[in-house]
Amino acid sequence: MRNLLPLLVFLGALLAAMPGWPQDHTSSPEEPSEASGASVCEPPAKCVPEKDLDLFLAALQEKRCLITKDPEIELDPINIVVDKKGRIFYSGAAPDPYIVKMTWCDYEIEAKGDVDVTAAMQVSSIWGFSFRPKAYIGFLPFEALYDVPEGESLEAFDLIDAGGMVDFFHYDWFNLNAALGFRSFGGGAGFDLTENFGIHASYALTWASWQHNANIGFWFSFYNPE
C-alpha cells in the first residue's frame, strides 16, 4: 500500500499534463447554436414558415389598401336624342350595352346591362299668346279706288306694301298679327300654310294720306316659338 500511493499520484499528474480529448461540437438539429444567429422557437412563440409569412404580409397590404383608398368607378355616358317627330334614340342598348367598370386596389369588376328610358313628351297647347316676328309683303287693293291728286298717276308699285308683323295670339293654324310697313300700318289675321310660311289679310291705314285700306299678301318667318 505504501508503494501504491506514489504511483497513483504520478498517474494523476501525467493525465493532467496530456492534451484534452477530442469533442464533437456539431450542433443538434433540435438545438440551434446561438452563435449562428438563428432564432430559437420556444413556447409561447409560434414559428411560421416563410411562404406563409409572405401570404400574411400580402393580406395585410391588401387590407390596408382597401381601407385607405376609395374605389374608382367608370360609367358609360348615356346620350338621349329626340327628333322632330318625337322619336327617342338613346345609347346603352343593343348592340352596345351599358358598361360599368370598378377598380379597387387589386380588384377589377366590369358589369354590362341594358338601359331603359321612360320619357314623357310635353305637348304644346294649340292656342295661347305667343311672340313670333314675321316679314310680309302685301297688296293694297283700295288704293286704286281713291282719287289720284292732279298731276300724279297711280302706278302698280303704289299698291305694294312690305314690312314686319308680330304674331301675338294663335289658335292652331290661325293667328292674330300687328303689322307695320313702309306704306301702312294695321293688324289682322294670319293663316299658317307651313311652320314658317302663310298668308295674311289685315286692315291697313296708309301713311300721309291716312286712307283706310286692306292689306292682303304673304308672310314668312324663321322663328318658331315651339
3-state helix, strand, coil in the chain (%, to 5): 20, 40, 40
- At 168-182, the pLDDT tens digits run 999 999 999 999 999
> What is the model's pLDDT at position 199?
96
pTM for the model stands at: 0.47
The proportion of the chain whose per-residue pLDDT surpasses 70, expressed as a percent, equals 78
pLDDT at 165 exceeding the cut of 70: yes
The most confident of 152-161, 183-192, 205-214, by mean pLDDT: 183-192
> What is the model's pLDDT at position 136?
96
Amino acid at 224: N
